[in-house]
Amino acid sequence: MPVETSLSGGLEQLAFDNSFTRELPGDPETANRRRQVLRACFSRVLPTPVSNPSIIGWSPEVATLLGLDPLPQDPELMARVFSGNLVLPGMDPFAMCYGGHQFGSWAGQLGDGRAINLGEVVNHSGQRHVLQLKGAGPTPYSRTADGLAVLRSSIREFLCSEAMHHLGVPTTRALSLVLTGEQVVRDMFYDGNPAREPGAVVCRVAPSFTRFGNFQILSARGETDILRRLVDHTIRHDFPHLGEPGPDTDVRWFHEVCRATADMVVHWMRVGFVHGVMNTDNMSILGQTIDYGPYGWLENYDPDWTPNTTDASGRRYRFGNQPQVAMWNLLQLGNALVPLFNETEPLQAGIDHYADSFQQGWRKTLGLKLGIADATAGDKPLFDELLAILAAVETDMTIFFRNLAHVDPETIGTVPPETLTEAYYRPEQVTTEHRERTLAWLRQWGARLRAGGTGWRERARLMNTANPKYVLRNYLAQQAIDKATAGDPSMIAELLDLLRHPYDEQSHREPYAARRPDWARHKPGCSMLSCSS
């Protein structure tokens, strides 16, 4: 793998401080072959070179965060680096070892099967960010797979990472999307019809990519000494405000992980995001959204909807079950940490803290979505009734909440306001009973607003900060994929620009805020997706 000495565009100023590989035990074997890796947190491995890398997606905000030029002045050089063709001085590429529960069952060793961490960059503000290539070739953890990624899933990951950030949802970021110039064989629907698709690599960026599963695999193998070292490393580098590791700090750390996870899930529920694969190996220790696979956006409000074809029968990871699954995953993390605690009560207290944090956060969030700044437990019947109304007929969640800010509850008549009926996918489903139920709720909502004393302008402002106008609707992502696959990546940049300002009125982009078109109801990529990428 070549190492470049003449660099530009900010690459020459990247300061690498690779604490993970410096401070934690690594795999002594250097051969890149699939195997069980014992008594190690990682394996060093180089990306697989590709034939013709070219940048088709770039985030100026993430580039600036890292100290790079906002826009690449030498796209060819950047494509070489962020496809993995060029290893910079100071990089120490590696793949993590971790395990996890997949769909509720322990799966043993999993690990970074198609992700390679290039190194840890410390920016001008002293912030640490890991650069990780997804789709850069096989690692010892690839099992029977090739470690590559295809364009369709890479576009979805690149766009959604940045969209979630601008929505205010805790998330990993994405710097670049590189087309490799090669073809990758995938059976998209696991139906025995594999096809060749364009290959791609996403450069993901996060303070840490440590997952619940990193701790689980060490605990499951009885490697308690290494588990201790990983916890200490995580506290020192990712939670330094908690102080030096020790019994009390360990407790505070676990409680903070629980709180951060609750905050993340509250935000998912606020914007209608469905992760799709909430396995414990896909849960960030930082409470950031990680691993954008078969995710989806709730268009018509349906708590039972899952975007994952693999989950279609059990619906374990459906929208409405995400809070419960997150708590179950935290319980598994707590179980993995038991060997380090003298008692289990602090771990149980952390789980209880998650439940309390989620309930309080969700109540406050629903209040903000409805313009109620002082929401209390007494508002639960009002909230529950609205969610039941939304689920009763096909109602676009994003449009309904956004348009509700335009409704004056003092002028409610005998039919729901037209601005709300714009959210209905099937107007014929709206019965007289449903209209009356909606009107009754609107009147109750109006009475609650009057009791709270929130003025009209302040109410609308609150609601428009909690309710986005633009989200990465599933069919929009698929349209960008279709165009890019045909050789036109322009819609990637268009959507990225749109989603930088999801709460703003963008009059020239109104079509992007419209309901899902009927042709997209069951179209592959627009309704459900597989884990194939």
* Residues carrying an active site annotation: 281
Contact indicator for 203, 131 with CB cutoff of 8 Å = yes
CA distance linking residue 369 with residue 362, whole number of Å: 10
List phi, psi (to 5°) of 97. -100, 125
CA distance linking residue 71 with residue 95, whole number of Å: 28
DSSP state of 49: P
Cite the DSSP H helix spans in 74-180. Answer: 75-81, 151-167
Question: Pick from 61, 59, 95, 79: which is nearest to 11 by CA?
Answer: 79
CA distance linking residue 359 with residue 144, whole number of Å: 41
CA distance linking residue 311 with residue 260, whole number of Å: 26
Question: Pick from 62, 53, 67: which is nearest to 16 by CA?
Answer: 67
Name residue, tokens 């051969």: 31
Q: 403-438: buried (b, 16+ CB within 10 Å) or exposed (e) per residue?
A: bbbebebeebeeebbeebbebbbeeeebeeebeebb
CA distance linking residue 186 with residue 151, whole number of Å: 11
Contact indicator for 40, 23 with CB cutoff of 8 Å = no
> Beta-carbon neighbour count of residue 244 at 10 Å?
9
Contact indicator for 297, 274 with CB cutoff of 8 Å = yes
DSSP state of 117: E
Question: Pick from 384, 367, 347: which is nearest to 258 by CA?
Answer: 347
Given the DSSP bridges, would you call strands 42-44 and 94-96 parallel, antiparallel or unpaired? antiparallel
Angle between helices 490-499 and 474-485 (to 10 degrees): 150
With residue 269 as reference, give the H or E element that holds it.
helix 247-271
Q: 352-377: buried (b, 16+ CB within 10 Å) or exposed (e) per residue?
A: ebbeebbeebbbbbbbbbbbbeebee
Given the DSSP bridges, would you call strands 54-58 and 128-134 parallel, antiparallel or unpaired? unpaired
Report which residue type is found at 313.
S
Both structure tokens of 462 = 């609150």
CA distance linking residue 338 with residue 331, whole number of Å: 11
Both structure tokens of 385 = 């009734």
